Amino acid sequence: MRHLLRALRFLVLLFAYADPQNLGATPNAIGASPPDTSQVQQWCKTTQGLLSSNNDSAEVRSREIIRVSRQIHYAYGEALGYNLRACALRNKADFSGSLSCSQKALTLFETQHSSMGQSIAYNTMALTYKRIADAQHVALLSRKALGFAHLALLHARKGPYLKELGKAYINAGIIYRDLQQPDSAAACYLRVMALERQYGLSATTLAICYADYAQLFMDAGQQLPKAVRYLNQAVALYKQEHNATGLEHAYRNLSCTYLKQGKRQQALAAANQSLALARTLHDPHRLFNSLEVAYVAHKEAGNFKQALDYLAEWKTREDSLVSLEKTQVVAKLEAAYAAEKKEAEITRLHGANAQKAQELLLVTLGGVGVSLLLGLTLWQYRTIQRTNAQLKATNKTVLENNLHMREQAVRQKTLMKELHHRVKNNLAIVSSLLRLQSNRLTDETATKAVREGQQRVEAMSLIHQRLYQTDNVTTVDMRRYITDLAESLLTAYGYEKDGFDLTVRVEQPMLDVDLALPLGLILNELLTNAFKHAYQAVAYPALHIYLGHDAEAQDGGLLLEVQDNGPGLSQYQWQQSSGSFGKRLISSLSEQVGGHLELCNASGTLYRLHIPQHALEEVA
């Protein structure tokens, strides 16, 4: 049976390749006329230019170059196409895809014994591993990138192939800088300048060298005017070549250098130019670096709100770069595992079918002379046997699927814990930044506002901390959360636990995180208000918190009560404070969860937040 299938496949392929239409097919995606090798080389040059301005178009063109080169049997053009696609995928942070294309390009160049081609491929692989090392902060990957750069140098010297030789020295210099070896990096850049004086290099190669050489002075904090001079020379060359990628990098380094010189306005202008260019390049790695520089520049210039916005976006980009690579690796492993399991199952079924066919033939030949009753009995036996085998196979499949689902559930829970841990860490960073900023402020009102913002961030951080410390990553233990939040604020406002009557009663301890987060922020505002205003003239302060079923409401729902024993707060006083950020935050979050907030005076101030049952179901 297997040999018959192979023969049929061979005949189908034979007729397909013998079709005159296939033999005469011509590409139509890049050009209407039949292409030749010179046209492919021209398309490669055009696509190379697109890498610095329109990365998506460059990837599309590179795939077309591969297809056309393969059709006209131009292996060198196919290798160049794979290398261009590797560069485009690297700019999209698809590092595994980039390395796969680079390896295909290298194999094609090796079969043609092309030293220049091998230098091109090794240069691409070196820069890709450098990007991976930047994203994961792994020195071992940087050293691997350096090894590829040295291989690119080895092959480029055989020509010498000046363009690739200059690129290889520049790549080695960049990687040496990442490995904290500035002297080795400087030696590489000076070799490029020597090549320029001896042979003359392209403006783009020289611009890259100037920019990277200037970065050594910038990192060392020495000879900063010299760094600025080289960077400005790089900017001029990049503008001449219309190289947006290089301009973004040069402006980014200019911003850092100006900051070290104390020139904040020049640093801010350069950072803004770098960020604007990065947003047009569709390169996650470059946008990540430019966001970091923009954050620092705006913070030093005193634009704290814009700085915090850039910081948040920067952290998001950092997580997405790491998460994207991890997701791609996991997906490929799962696909390989599924394919291997499917192939094994197909092989097993082929063997089982062949064995059953042989058994059926033997039974048929042996049962010719047997009576009808014996034949019927044998037929029934075979039917039962096949049914049992199918049931066994079905049970095995069900068990394997259940095991796979359990593994996926464990993996998903681990990823969710990691996510909440990262969110908690990011909120902790924001809280620390707010604390540091408040210490530098002299205006009491501004200091107070920043510290209140810090407390709100810490309230959210506490929820994410609860989530990653438990096995249940979708619900929050409200009893522990409310107790920790109240005690934290009590200590923050200078009260002693022994001299304070704190009562926490929670009848509904577990809440979904989508409801727990806004409730936590509302509770933070109410508790903060009590600690700030309620106990100034109270000898023994008391605070009572209740979260549970609303017995007074007809439809049930959830009730949150916060009561102090202070002088009380009238409706008029509450309405007078409508302009405060805290009250606006409480009102907005109450509307978000579908709740209604009431204010009462009962031996102090009593806040009652009622959330109807239908609103709880919508939030859940």
φ/ψ bin of 282: left (φ > 0), alpha (ψ from -120 to 50), beta (otherwise): left
Query: Is the pLDDT score of 504 beyond 90?
Result: yes
Question: Quick one: pLDDT at residue 102?
Answer: 94
395 in a domain, yes or no?
A: no
Q: What is the mean pLDDT of residues 298-317?
A: 87
490 in a domain, yes or no?
A: yes
Query: Is the pLDDT score of 5 beyond 60?
Result: no
Question: Quick one: pLDDT at residue 459?
Answer: 64
Q: What is the DSSP letter of 567?
A: S
Question: Quick one: pLDDT at residue 26?
Answer: 34
Question: Quick one: pLDDT at residue 115?
Answer: 92
pLDDT in tens, 241-279: 888 888 888 898 898 888 888 888 998 998 899 888 888
- Between 267 and 4, name the one with better pLDDT: 267
Structural domain span for residue 487: 477-619
Q: Cα angle vertex 598, ends 608, 489, to 5°?
A: 50
- Between 350 and 71, name the one with better pLDDT: 71
Buried b (16+ CB within 10 A) or exposed e, 368-403: eeeeeeeeeeeeeeeeeeeeeeeeeeeeeeeeeeee
Q: What is the DSSP string of 354-366?
A: HHHHHHHHHHHHH
120 in a domain, yes or no?
A: no
Alpha helices in 441-539 (DSSP H): 444-468, 478-492, 513-533
506 in a domain, yes or no?
A: yes
Alpha helices in 157-303 (DSSP H): 162-178, 182-198, 203-220, 224-241, 244-260, 264-281, 284-300
Where is average pLDDT lowest: 102-116, 514-528, 578-592? 578-592
144 in a domain, yes or no?
A: no
pLDDT in tens, 390-400: 888 888 888 87
Q: What is the CATH number of the domain that holds 571?
A: 3.30.565.10
Q: What is the mean pLDDT of residues 295-324?
A: 82
Where is average pLDDT lowest: 163-167, 453-457, 513-517, 582-586? 453-457
**Average pLDDT over the chain, rounded to an integer:** 80
Q: What are phi and psi of 548, to 5 degrees?
A: 175, -160
571 in a domain, yes or no?
A: yes
Q: What is the mean pLDDT of residues 415-422?
A: 53
Question: Quick one: pLDDT at residue 469?
Answer: 58
Q: What is the mean pLDDT of residues 169-198?
A: 88
Query: Is the pLDDT score of 7 beyond 50?
Result: no
Q: How many angstroms separate the CA atoms of 468 and 413, rounded?
A: 9
Q: Are 201 and 166 in contact (CB under 8 A)?
A: yes
Torsion angle defined by CA atoms of residues 88, 90, 93 and 96, in that order, rounded to the nearest 10 degrees:
120
Question: Quick one: pLDDT at residue 543?
Answer: 93
Torsion angle defined by CA atoms of residues 193, 197, 203 and 205, in that order, rounded to the nearest 10 degrees:
-30
Residue 286: which residues within 8 A CB-CB, separation 6 or more?
A: 91, 245, 248, 249, 278
CA torsion sign for 35, 37, 38, 40 is positive
541 in a domain, yes or no?
A: yes
Report which residue type is found at 308.
L
Q: How confident is the model at residue 451 (pLDDT cuts 50, 70, 90)?
A: low
Nearest to 132 by CA among 328, 269, 415: 328
Where is average pLDDT lowest: 207-216, 425-434, 586-595? 425-434
Query: Is the pLDDT score of 106 beyond 90?
Result: yes
Ranked by mean pLDDT, the top range of 2-6, 24-28, 556-560 is 556-560
Could you tell me whether strands 542-549 and 558-564 are parallel, antiparallel, or unpaired per DSSP bridges?
Answer: antiparallel
Neighbour count for residue 544 (Cβ, 10 Å): 16
pLDDT in tens, 340-385: 566 667 677 777 778 888 888 888 887 777 788 888 888 888 888 8
Q: What is the DSSP letter of 180?
A: T
Tokens at residue 276, please?
């604007």
Domain count for the chain: 1
Distances 323 to 90, 278, 282, 341, 426 between C-alpha atoms, Å: 15, 21, 18, 27, 15
Could you tell me whether strands 605-611 and 596-601 are parallel, antiparallel, or unpaired per DSSP bridges?
Answer: antiparallel
Nearest to 29 by CA among 85, 78, 56, 67: 67
349 in a domain, yes or no?
A: no
Q: How confident is the model at residue 604 (pLDDT cuts 50, 70, 90)?
A: confident
Secondary structure of residue 88 in the 3-state scheme:
helix
Q: What are phi and psi of 569, to 5 degrees?
A: -135, 120
Q: What is the DSSP letter of 595?
A: -
